[in-house]
Structures are given as C-alpha cells and as structure tokens.
Amino acid sequence: MTEEQKARRAEIARENGAKSQGPVSITGKYISSLNGIDTGEHATVRKEELPECIALLSTDCRHAYLRLFQKHVRQLQPESDCERTLVRHMAVELFQLERTISLETHARQRGIDDVIRAYADLSDPDRELFAYEKGLQKDKLWRSLQRDKKAHLAAYASYQKLLKQTRKDFPVVPPEPVNYDADANLAEEPLPPPEVVAEAIAHADRAKNEPSYELPQWVAEMILNAALMAEIAPGYDVEQLLEKLTDPGLPRAA
C-alpha cells in the first residue's frame, strides 16, 4: 500500500469509529462493561512479609499459634484470600482464649505455691482450698479473666458464622489459589524495634565507659546472642562487653 492509501484507510477507520455508539445487545454491553476490571491474570504477585493482623505477644509461642492456624486451614479449607483472613481471625481468637486460660491457671498455681511455702504440712486439698480463699481477694482479676474468655469464645463463634455465611452468599467457583507465605513468615522470631536496639546500645556504651555499671539482664542476653547482634548492630564491637559478661564475679542488673 502506498502512503496515500494508508492515510485514506486510517481516515475511514476514524470516521467509522466516530459513528459507533458501542455495543447494542445485552451480551455485548456486558462484555464491554468488563473492560475496566483487572482480573489479576497478568498482575505481579507481591509477597507479604506479615499477615494483615498480628496478635502475638513477645511471650507467645509463635509455633504454637501457627500449628493452631494450620489445623484450622486443614479442617476449614479456605477457598479464597478473604476466607483465609476469616480463618486466621478464628485461630487468633482461639489462641487468645487459650492464652487467657493459661494466665488464669498460672495465677492459681502461683497462689498454691505461696501456700505450700508458708504451710508445708497442709494436705493438697487444704492447700488448694486455702489458695482459693486467698485468691478471692483478687476478685477483679478473676472477673477480668472470665470476661476475656467469654469475649474470645463469642468472637470465635461469630467468625465461624461469618465464614459459613460468606461461603453461602459468595461462593468461589472454582476456588482461587490462596497464598500462605505471610502466615508462614510468623514462625521467624521478630527482631527488636529500632528504639529498643538504640536503648540497648546506649546501655552497652555506658558499660564500656563505666566499669562499675551493671548491664541490664535483657541487654546482656542481646549482647551474648551473636546472631542477633549481627542482624541488629553489625560491626558493633562487643569484645570488651563479652569479657565482662563472662566474668562470674561481676553482677548484672535484672
């Protein structure tokens, strides 16, 4: 084709396009309405570092939470990322319920231990009764624990109901692939935040400059953890502190 023919054909195409009023049939209009929807077929998948909600404390066993979450996944088989989020919330509430029960058990056991130390001659039933009577003085604590247990159990049942309703009203056919990378990353122990690292380094610097300064126990544990120090403070010289920490004659602050 000559350049003149190409230009003429382009002009005809523009004229025809200007006359078009879009699809006329119902099917055509429906297909056209989907033009602005991103199906994600060619989208780049971004790996999440952590899930949307994190309900773990520094004293929690992260592997115990993951095992509980995995049990829920195996039984409930979430069929979309939305369902996975609901399943995660269910696991979180049940995990927090178990944490509260553990706190209550620990509090009661501590009361029994106090009685054992004070009254060694009592029988086990008497020790438990005496500890229970003393524990009544902590009525506010017990009522708070009971409220927490009821709240977590109610939330768990609510998320379970919501999952069933979601599956009924918005079925995913066929099921979409669900990415669990973010949840698996919870197995790794988190690094201390920058402000904690800065405070630990400040204590360490003071211990270097003041030989009599008692290094806090939590800072000493960080200094003795070579792998952790390599992550949070690479290049920081700890040799002088290591000599101090490994000397059994030098006390450390709690």
- From first to last of its 254 residues, the chain has per-residue pLDDT tens of 788 887 888 787 777 766 666 666 655 655 565 555 455 455 454 456 667 677 888 888 888 999 999 999 999 999 998 999 999 999 999 999 999 999 999 988 888 888 888 888 888 888 888 888 887 888 888 899 999 999 999 999 999 999 999 999 998 888 888 888 888 877 777 778 888 889 999 999 998 888 888 888 888 888 888 888 888 888 888 888 887 777 655 444 44
Which pLDDT belongs to residue 137?
82
Q: What's the one-letter identity of residue 198?
A: A
- pTM, full prediction: 0.63
**Cβ–Cβ under 8 Å, residues 84 and 180:** yes
Burial class (CB in 10 A: 0-12, 13-18, 19+), 98: middle
Q: What's the one-letter identity of residue 241?
A: L
Phi and psi at 215, nearest 5°, equal -75, 130
Which pLDDT belongs to residue 174?
85
Phi and psi at 36, nearest 5°, equal -90, 0
Distances (CA, A) of 248 to 186, 239, 245: 36, 16, 8
Q: Which residue has the tokens 């300064």?
A: 213
What ranges do the domains of the chain cover? 3-33, 62-187, 194-245
Which pLDDT belongs to residue 154?
97
Chain-centroid distance of CA 200 in Å reads 25
